[in-house]
Amino acid sequence: MVSAVTEPSVLHETRAAYDAVASLYAELFSNVLEILPLERAMLAAFAELVQAHDSGPVADIGCGPGHVTAHLHALGLTAFGIDLSAEMVALARQARPDLRFDEGSMTALDVADGALGGILAHYSIIHTPPRQLPAVFTEFQRVLAPGGHLLLGFFAGDDPLPQEFDHKVTLAYRWSPDSLMELLRQAGFVEVARMQREPHENERQFQQGQLLVRKPQSGLLGPAPDADQ
């Protein structure tokens, strides 16, 4: 549990906003993967790469009501969820009592260094103020095992600067895949694949993006070629 006294106000506001809409969000989105074949394809590739490497469980960070955590489990991964919102975590536990869901923030994960084989952050970095995102990516790098994979889902755009928009739950940002990839590179990740698609008819007008990246085996400064793909 993140202390509401010491945490930055943006975390406090984001948690309160998702606590307030958790049931509606679960109702609207728990089956959404059924109509998103491109996201399912990226999740399947992510799962296969994580399994091939076999270096630890996968954390679905910002898991919401846990439907994507459950999808990762169905793909054969040992997956657990982490979310800022206590209400989201309660709904996830209710929907899938067999899976683990914890309260926590991506800004300071209660996870040991190098403990994870993979991280999914599916539309959960969208509320992080751009100036705070480098620290989040450094935290992801810390908890991933060498060779571990990170899959990000986000609202995409072409502008090189992140664009603020009035997301229905709380203020959010959309990113060009190139700009986001540059921040990931600075945090030590290498690109594996990216997907950018036009909005589905039920989605708001923005393009949707996915970036699949890897923490190199050799670490940030290591000169050895990274041949583990």
Ligand X SMILES: C[S@@+](CC[C@H](N)C(=O)[O-])C[C@H]1O[C@@H](n2cnc3c(N)ncnc32)[C@H](O)[C@@H]1O
* Residue 122 engages ligand X in binding (rule: CB under 6 A): yes
The residue within the footprint of ligand X, chosen from 26, 46, 73, 85 (CB under 6 A), is 85
Out of 11, 59, 79, 195, the only residue in the binding site for ligand X (CB under 6 A) is 11
Q: Measuring CA to CA, which residue among 123, 149, 117 is closest to residue 67?
A: 123
Of 123 and 206, the one with the shorter C-beta distance to ligand X is 123
Build a one-symbol-per-residue string for 50-69: x at contacts with ligand X by CB under 6 A, - elsewhere: -----------xxxx---x-
CB 148 within 8 A of CB 214: yes
Distance of CA 80 to the CA centre of its chain: 12
Question: Is 209 a residue that touches ligand X (CB under 6 A)?
Answer: no
- How do beta strands 172-174 and 163-165 pair? antiparallel
Say whether residue 107 binds ligand X (CB under 6 A): yes
Q: Considering only 84-92, 187-195, 201-209, 221-229, which stretch makes contact with ligand X by CB under 6 A?
A: 84-92
Q: Is 42 in the site for ligand X (CB under 6 A)?
A: no
- Asked if 106 interacts with ligand X (CB under 6 A), we say yes
Tell me if 67 sits within 8 A of 30, measured CB to CB: yes
Work out whether 117 is an interface residue with ligand X (CB under 6 A): no
Query: Does the protein bind ligand X through residue 208 (CB under 6 A)?
Result: no
State the burial class of residue 177 (Cβ atoms within 10 Å of its Cβ: 0-12, 13-18, 19+): buried
**Bridging pattern class, strands 207-214 and 144-156:** antiparallel
Instruction: Look at residues 147, 223, 127, 130 and name the one whose alpha carbon lies nearest to residue 183.
Output: 130
Per CB under 6 A, the segment of 41-49, 123-131, 141-149, 207-215 that binds ligand X is 123-131
E-assigned strands of 77-143?
79-83, 100-103, 116-122
Q: Of 25 and 189, which has the nearer Cβ to ligand X?
A: 25
Among 42, 72, 84, 213, binds ligand X (CB under 6 A): 84
CB of 161 to ligand X, least distance (A): 21
Q: Are 87 and 103 in contact (CB under 8 A)?
A: no
> What does the binding site for ligand X look like in residue numbers (CB under 6 A)?
11, 14, 18, 29, 61-64, 68, 83-85, 88, 105-107, 122-124, 127
